[in-house]
Structure 1
């Protein structure tokens, strides 16, 4: 019997005045997903992304493409090898060394990896924050920068997120997927268990 679990989620992304739908699959401690998003803030624009992790939900690859009126079509590919080296469009990025995760701007899905890895959404009470270095990809320009972020379990499926001056208490479901991210996004619909990955 397979230990895979498929998921579909759609979020209203208030920060970008748009929507994001992700289709994916958890297999053991790995995740594969792809998604489509659109935004009106600084747009309109459309985003397509593919994400693959290795064991421990550590990013292996993120591929993102953006297009839309007034936006030159562009794409970016982030890869992380087994030695922890990151490359962006084939160029090594030493500033990302030590990062385990990518973080796609305005995409609630990419909060899932550190949350599931450390079981932060399952904590019954508040705990100590964990600091992470992320390979953050801004949307719609697709610039890639190193980003320091802190995730703090608050109990009851909530996790405090902090980066720079931004703070938000994010609600996650039992699968470690965002339900409500004040200031960024809110889930609109959850697909049925075992739904098609598209």
Structure 2
């Protein structure tokens, strides 16, 4: 079990992560964009670094939302949501039928969810690239969408993530945890 702290341009995140066998993580984040919020999550990953469960609760001044996102062993995604108060923007949840080719969740603004595809494909250690689809969870709205990404090995523990015309060259440690996402987040405690 590791305790990880990332300092972000617009907040911070703390996670307790177990990377042995089936990955498991419990975390909390605070942020300011698009509104100030506090977020708590639990992530459970099957062998092969495939998402099984992501539960998220987000709170702000006068509102709260929750999401229970699950992927069955047969690849079907499901979610349950709850909301209270008013938060302008997308509603929690989304169309789960468009996610059947996704193996991973991507908790927006969390460096942790890059770990699964990078470790599954060994891209922190070996040459190559992979195109994936994620069940992307928008923060703090908790809206879920189909989101293509490409990961490319650039060197030992250096992997480029490309998505929607943007890219970031992510630095990982030997366990496959993001140490630096330039211009966004940096691991300051482990």
Counterparts of 2:26 and 2:6, CA distance in 1: 14
Residue equivalent to 1:60:
52
Distance 1:82 1:92 in 2: 19
Instruction: Show structure 1 runs of 4+ deviating over 4 A.
Output: none
Q: Aligned-pair distance for 1:80?
A: 0.4
Asked if 2 retains the 8 angstrom alpha-carbon contact of 1:86 and 1:92, the reply is: no
Point out where structure 1 has 5 or more consecutive residues left out of the alignment: 1-5, 191-198
Report the count of equivalent residues.
178
Q: 100, 103, 114: which is aligned to 1:100? A: 103
Aligned to 1:131: 131
Q: Is the 8 A contact 1:20 1:35 kept in 2?
A: yes
Contact 2:132 2:150 in 1 (8 A): yes
Correspondences of 1:1-198 after superposition (within 5 Å) = 6-14=1-9, 17-28=10-21, 30-70=22-62, 72-89=63-80, 93-123=96-126, 127-190=127-190
Q: Gapped runs of 5+ residues in structure 2? A: 82-93
Render the CA deviation track for 1:63-114: whole Å, top value 9, x for unaligned. 00000115x1000111000100001218871100011100000001111001
Distance in 2 (CA, whole Å) between partners of 1:165 and 1:183 is 16
| Cα offsets for 1:123-144 (capped at 9, x unmatched) | 3xxx332000000001011110
The answer to which of 98-107 and 127-136 deviates more is 127-136
Query: How does the TM-score come out when normalised to structure 1?
Result: 0.86
Calculate the aligned-residue CA RMSD, in Å: 1.4
- For 2:48, what is the secondary structure of its paired residue? helix
CA shift for structure 1 position 42: 2.0
Work out the CA distance in 1 between the residues paired with 2:23 and 2:149. Answer: 21
**CA–CA distance in structure 1, aligned partners of residues 68 and 184 of structure 2:** 24
Q: Equivalent residue of 1:95, what SS?
A: helix
Which structure exhibits the higher relative contact order, with contacts defined as CA atoms closer than 8 Å and separated by 6 or more residues? 1
